[in-house]
Amino acid sequence: MDQDTTTLRSRVKRVAGHRLSRDVVRLGYGIARSAVDSLRARRPTTTRWSPREQRWHYHWPEGRVADPGRWKDAQGWATQGFYYGMEDLLWSDYRPGPGDVVLDIGAGHGGETLYLADMVGPTGRVLSVEAAGTPYASLADLVARNGWTHVEPIRLAVGAEAGTARISDDTHWVAGNVFGERGEAVAMDTIDALCAERGIEHVDWVKMNIEGAERDALRGMESMAARVHHLTISCHDFLGTDWGRSLEFVTSWLADHGFTVRRREVGDFVQQCYLYASRDGG
């Protein structure tokens, strides 16, 4: 056996040994974490490392999640560690309830979907729409893992008309947008078509966070506008780009379509670019 072969085998053994050691440590951490979290939550809560998948399996009170990152709770995973106060930011004007029909436009990895699935319950309906491939894969896995029959993950870009959009599939998908020239081609359609194809005649709440594409998304919601009761929209003026500036247009469009609009006045500039819209009597 030559020296190169011996060296290679030695390296392989070291790597395998390191991985085995790491897996053992993580398995032990998962057992300890599960015990602590279960005591705090006063209900079974598990954190388990999967050596085969090389990711953590979490079973929190909010639902089941599989992710390579280490998170202490569902809120941390949902906000990717930012803990920005999801309840207040998204649902300060309207909180979806049992039986509601909601659209999660720009669902990302499923952070909000995790909570919406429980809010509306099995009698409700959640359409979770995400265009970028990496977060969509996590979203689809989340829905399948929890067995939610009332939640539909949809890979689609929403726009003013049907066609194709090019999506940048950045690992940190909040940096992606539908204007990436070298991005991946993804089917695009309107919110009107999305609802019509599924027989949805009214929507109780819409969340829209699509990195500056909200103007075109609203242009594709002309037919459904009168049948949408509440919206929470993240405008992207804080990006400082021409395509991201949508606050003025979105505010005007919503008012012209019969909504009462309120801009968020607290938090940083990102949060102050949130709009809340409600239809009288909705």
Q: Which two tokens stand for residue 43?
A: 């209900």
- Identify the CATH homologous superfamily for domain 86-279: Vaccinia Virus protein VP39 (3.40.50.150)
pLDDT of 225:
98
Mean pLDDT of 28-49: 70
Domain ranges of the chain: 3-77, 86-279
Q: How many residues does the chain have?
A: 282
Q: What is the model's pLDDT at position 88?
A: 94
Distance separating alpha carbons of residues 38 and 44, to the nearest angstrom? 5
What are 177-204's pLDDT values in tens digits?
A: 555 566 789 999 999 999 999 999 999 9
Sheet harboring 157-158: ordered strands across? 157-158, 184-189, 163-167
Distance CA 139, CA 92 (A): 24
- CA angle 137/174/277 to nearest 5° reads 100
How far is Cα 240 from Cα 11, in angstroms, rounded to an integer?
49
What pLDDT shows up at residue 236?
Answer: 83
- Backbone φ and ψ for 256, nearest 5 degrees, come out as -65, -25
Report d(CA 30, CA 47) in Å as an integer.
Answer: 5
C-alpha distance from residue 194 to each of 39, 72, 117, 137, 198 (Å): 43, 36, 19, 20, 7
Q: How far apart are CA 32 and CA 37, in angstroms?
A: 9
What confidence tens digit (pLDDT) does each residue in 220-232 have? 999 999 999 999 9
